Amino acid sequence: MIFLRYRYRVFFLKLVLCAPVVFLSPKVSQGQIQVTDNITALALAQQLTGQGVTIMNPVLNCPAHANGTFKVVSSTVSIDSGIVLTTGRAATSGGSYGVNGASSFLASTNNGTPGDAQLEALAGVTTYDACGLEFDIVPQGDTASFNYVFSSEEYKNAVCGPYNDAFAFFISGPGISGSDNMALIPGTNIPVTINTVNSGTPGAMWNISGCSSMGAGSPFTADYIDNSTGTTLTHFGLTTKLRAFHHVMPCATYHLKIVIADGGNETYDSGVFLEAGSLHTSAYHIIAVNTLDSGHTPFAVKGCLPAKFLITRQGSTAESQTLKYITTGTAISSVDYTALPDSITIPAGDTGVMLTVNCLPTPLAGTKILHLNLLASFACTGTSIVDSAEVVIYDTAHIVIAPSMINKCGNDTVQAIAAGDSIYTYSWAPTTGIDNSDTQQPGIFIATPTIYTVTAALAGTSCMASATLGINIKPTPTVYLVADTTVCLNSTLILQPDVLPASRGYSYAWSGPSGIEDASANIALNNITQGNVGIYTLVVTDTLSKCATMATTDVQVAVISTPIVISPIAICHGAQPVELSAQGAALQWYNADTGTASNTAPLIQTSEIGTSNYFVSQSANGCESPKAEISVLVQKCCDGIFFIPSAFTPNGDGVNDKFHVSKDAGYVIESIGIYNRWGQLVFSGNSDSWDGTFNNKAADAGTYFYEIIIGCVTGGIINRKGEVTLIR
């Protein structure tokens, strides 16, 4: 193939002046096309080689930075990985531009290396900056081919002109006179060039005839991709993925030379991307078909689901193709599957054929593996496997439940275990008492004997099996224990269970707070304290069936605080009677510690001097708190007398003009309060006299009420209440 470049010097200088300089690693580009340059000839050839080809004697005639391996992350280059040969740089580096980067950057690099004489003989022009990879191949089929993409800076401006960069894929060997170029437009003898694959629009200085004259159908626009605004490839245009191929003689040795060079001058660059693993002979493949599309590895089931292998070739031909294969793996022919012939034929015009393998019912022997290994159509040395696939062969559909009868206690959950292959869906019936009826190992809780059936089925097939599981219920006690309860401090509680059926024999095991353990049927908690608080557990066991039932109850003690009281209390002899008080709820009063309770507080009489003791408690939720003691002392407060008048006449005559309390030196007026008949306070203070006024005005005549608190200088108080009449 020939490609010569026309140069626009002014255009080149303008782009160089405007383009930013990018500095990236000289070895690996981290753009959307990742390139590693300076690869050995052997590594490049091995990267390119695929099925049915043996390579030998690789030689690389190319600057280190002009070749490399690549991986496409995201790009217009329609090959995901492989090798790249260029007339400039393979990787962007150190201010020089390679194939990876925006198309606004010129990739142009003058390597200063010679061209290729074979390309010059083919093109008729001088070439520069050649990059070539050569090696020998031994094909195991009748064709040799590989996939590639060509790209160049020459696109757009040089289209349909006389200048093309040159590249070719030369093959030579038996049946070939000299060497042939494999880089042709598919289905033609027209070489792939800028003038044969482009957009159909000539460069500014050229005419479409420069393209149409290349051969019938030229230019082939469908194979062209415009990259003038691309961001991952510096070349302005590129081809779609094309296939280079040539007929060969199986097992013969051929020489392959892949070479690209600048034509006419050494400035603008071109490149060729070759797909990894695409150098192969007639490609044949085999895959195991997942018949049910179930997400599993392809499988078969003995007796109901066959294995299937799809054997394909690259493209259909007018001839049929017979391919041999061999089987390997743990599956045994005529035991696990029907005997197979050693070959299969792809009919003329077809690209593939399905091989069905019927699997034979056998006693359970576990899963087996069947490998089907496809042999090369031409075995140059011994047996050559070109592709293989495998299926898992499962046993004949089955379910194993062991034991098939379970005796369980009435309050136990059992784990049902249905042994079978994981490819099936499982269902249990009836669903009563089953926590998940669609699993192999459900939990089952029932109180009555039941027979369950489990079925394993493979949807879309006749593969099905079932088994039964019987569950028998052994006699199990039913235990009723007093519900969680709160009791009073110092009370007694008897924990007495009700166990059914009453006709059977049982053993008992109690455990609880403070390390209590008891084998009695009933336990009594006497004089309950905080040490008895907690969970009491009873296990009742049927002495014959050995089935046990556990019951618990939570015992708490009501904590009721003692009422708050003031003690001792001193009351003056002769004072008005005093009613005792305490802070609490639902108070219970006692004249003695063990006396009869009353809900009425005692009224303390002051007629006799002496000491007496009283007790009070409070109640809540039917429980009574500890008692609080109140000590009452009736004592003589003062010697002497005091007098409170019953009437006075505030008329200013100097006689009985004030309400005046007469007392001797042993008493002190603590407070006086005087109220009218409506309960309104008209006078207050600690004075011993009231002048009969209210709000600085003469109070109305009538009856008034007083409350006087008199203190004794030696301790104690006297409270007096009464009436006084104001006369005018």
- Distance (Å, whole) CA 93 – CA 13: 20
Q: What is the pLDDT of residue 12?
A: 29
Task: Please give the structure tokens belonging to residue 35.
Answer: 């390139």
Exposed/middle/buried for residue 540 (C-beta within 10 Å: 0-12, 13-18, 19+)? buried
CA–CA–CA angle 683, 688, 690 (5° rounding): 40
What does 623-674 look like in DSSP terms, one character per residue?
EEPPPEEEEEEEE---SS-EE--SEE--SSSSSS-SEE-EE-TTEEEEEEEE
The residues near 340 (Cβ < 8 Å, ≥ 6 apart) are 327, 333, 355, 357
pLDDT score, position 262: 87
At a CB cut-off of 8 Å and minimum separation 6, what does 18 contact? none
Tokens standing for residue 17: 């002046």
3 state SS of 62: coil
Give the model's pLDDT for residue 94. 47
Distance CA 125, CA 119 (A): 8
**pLDDT tens digits, one per residue of 140-193:** 888 899 999 999 988 888 899 876 677 899 999 999 999 999 999 988 999 898
* pLDDT for the residue 675: 96
Residue type, 453: T
Count other Cβ atoms within 10 Å, centred on residue 154: 31
Say how far apart CA 8 and CA 12 lie, in whole Å.
6
The CA-based angle 607-612-617, given to 5 degrees, is: 125
pLDDT number for residue 3: 40
3-state DSSP percent of the chain in helix, strand and coil, to 5:
5, 45, 50
Q: Which residues pair with 718 in a beta bridge?
A: 710
Q: Which domains does the chain have, with CATH numbers?
A: 9-275 (no CATH), 284-394 (2.60.40.2030), 400-474 (2.60.40.10), 478-555 (2.60.40.10), 569-635 (no CATH), 642-726 (2.60.40)
Strands 385-394 and 299-301: parallel
What pLDDT does residue 7 have? Answer: 35
Burial of 428 (0-12, 13-18, 19+ CB in 10 A): buried
Would you call 449 exposed, middle or buried from its count of C-beta atoms within 10 A (0-12, 13-18, 19+)? exposed
Distance CA 294, CA 189 (A): 47
Apex 727 CA angle, 721 and 728, nearest 5: 150
Calpha distance 89→17 (Å, rounded):
20
Q: pTM value?
A: 0.55
In sequence order, the 6+-apart residues with CB closer than 8 A to the CB of 555 are: 484, 485, 486, 487, 493, 512, 513, 525, 528, 532, 533, 534, 535, 536
Segments in the chain below pLDDT 70:
1-31, 93-97, 103-106, 163-164, 293-294, 379, 382-383, 639-640
Report the C-alpha gap between 570 and 305 in whole angstroms.
106
